[in-house]
Chain A
Amino acid sequence: MTLLALIIVSMMMGRYDLSLSEVSKYFIGQANSSSKLILELRFIRIIAVVLVGAGLSMAGATFQSVFSNGLASPNLLGVSTGSSVGAAIAILNGKSIYWIEISAFITGILTVFLTLLINKILRSNSNITLILSGIIMSGLMQSVLGSVKYIADPENQLQSIVYWELGSFMKVDSQALISVGPILIVGIIFLLLTRWRLNTLSLDTYTIKTIGINPTLNRNLMILFATLLTAASVCLCGVVGWIGLVVPHVSRSLVGEDNRYALPMTAITGAILLLIADTLARSISVNDIPLSIITGFIGVPIFIVILIRRRNVGI
């Protein structure tokens, strides 16, 4: 309900404020041509924001459960940067949105794999080591991304790639939404349907096995879909910080640890939070503000509060 109300409000807000009646006319197909054009664009953008907000947050929640690590997120594991490298390479080669998607997914998966490999080589079960491995991979991928930028044609390719780095929905059009949206929807539905299994996967490997569940197969499946969601999000709007890390914690503090309730809550909270961020991004100044700037300002204080509240329990 909150989400629906927010969608309506968000439709009204922007560089040209529109009234509630104009928004409702749009939905029953009676808007005049000029406001229809604006609302059409806004509506596409809002749908993309809602899907990415839900998708990124669920990816974060999935990583946190599968690795039993409250610090795991698409960004800290290096998946986001990894995916943006793939996207950048595809842009550099002038590929279509489909290839950008596939390429982002492949480098995203590759980054997760390497992050886990480094973690294994370091032979530690500590939560911090996994995040360290993610930072190492993220750093490597930043360098690769830097090289791609260096080669890129500064006139237009470089612009598109830079656009990817701080996240923005400015360039989302109906074509991008139609090609990437379904992937986000499939990923979101899969993770929602398997949310009870996610509880089982947060146990230790031996226990999962004796409960009668194949730990490797199930975990990899979850990692695959979480990475798919991250890569698809990166294709639509680039790297958006903090959402994947903070939203799962917020949701768990609202409804408890059980993913049967926490995961749907994460999806809704993520959509709401990103919608607020994006509405601000396109409303408060003449130009679109990169999203990560706003999600950073929102996410950091929330995360500090979470850390303080959790310091007795351990994260």
Chain B
Amino acid sequence: MLESRITTQNLSFAYKTKQIINNVDLNVAAGQVLVILGPNGIGKSTLLNCLSGVLNKYQGDILVNDQSLRQLTIKDLSHQVALVSQGVNIKSSLTLFDYLLLGRSSFHSIFDQPDDHDKTIVKQIIQQIGLENYTNISLQSMSGGQRQLAIIGRALAQEPQILIMDEPTSALDYRNQTVVLKLIKMLSDQGISIVMSTHDPNQAQMVGDQVGLLIDNQTYKQGPVNEILTDKYLSKLYGIPIISTYNELVDRKIFGIGMD
């Protein structure tokens, strides 16, 4: 049994009187990828925002490396958990290098400047995300896919053990989706645990170890990919017929929408 990195116990969250998520018990082990699936507006982002410490008025408990998230300072949490938000609306006009450096902020006091160690780490990450040629390019003049990689890079600069990714591929074309998914696979091989949400069950099939379904505001179901990613569960999840076929060329199931 792998050591668990992030666990929730009866996690619930309500906006005013509206219950968004209810009694979620999720569990992610070291180096595992948990893919969260669910229809629009079901609370995927809310769940991820709770896990990353952005929303803190939740009920139940979140354990990060067996420590309650409530007892961690913002700074300590940022060294364990990093959030990758959707990159479409990012406004920063810093260069890629300066933007990634921001991930190092909490390692320093307010009066400090980034040091050589920070710069070395950022250079390594830029290589890892494959944007060496864009080091000094402003984020504003990058493509959507590059910006998404930049956000992942900034999160990695925090040297986290857990990455929380809110629909990291939703604004990207097929090619860029693949780039990001490959990066996710590589990071999990390095031992980083990942919780990501997506609208595409095929992505869960490709990179997921575990799949979590937010079926309605009352039910959360998590399990290994083979058990959860079935036509029956997915059809129920989205309320439409979903049919999978096995593709020998890619050696995995491909999910399609069945229309009458």
Contacts and interface: CB of A to CB of B under 8 A. Distances in A.
B158 A212 contact: yes
A212 B79 contact: yes
Given A212-B74, A212-B75, A194 B53 contact: no
B102 interface: yes
B98 interface: yes
A213 B73 CA distance: 10
Contacts of A213: 74-75, 78, 105-106
Contact of B158 (A194, A199, A211): A211
A200 B98 contact: no
Interface in B99-136: 101-103, 105-106, 108, 110-114
Contacts of B74: 209, 212-214
A206 interface: yes
Given A210-B78, A212-B158, A197 B105 contact: yes
A187 to B, nearest CB: 14
B114 A196 contact: yes
Given A211-B106, A211-B158, A212-B77, A206 B140 contact: no
Given A194-B111, A212-B75, A258-B98, A206 B85 contact: yes
B54 to A, nearest CB: 5
A194 B110 CA distance: 6
B114 A206 contact: no
Contacts of B101: 199
Interface in A192-231: 193-194, 196-197, 199-200, 202-204, 206-207, 209-214, 218, 221
A257 interface: yes
B246 to A, nearest CB: 39
B81 A210 contact: yes
Given A196-B112, A209-B74, A218-B110, A202 B82 contact: no
A20 B49 CA distance: 65
A210 B102 contact: no
Contacts of A200: 102, 105
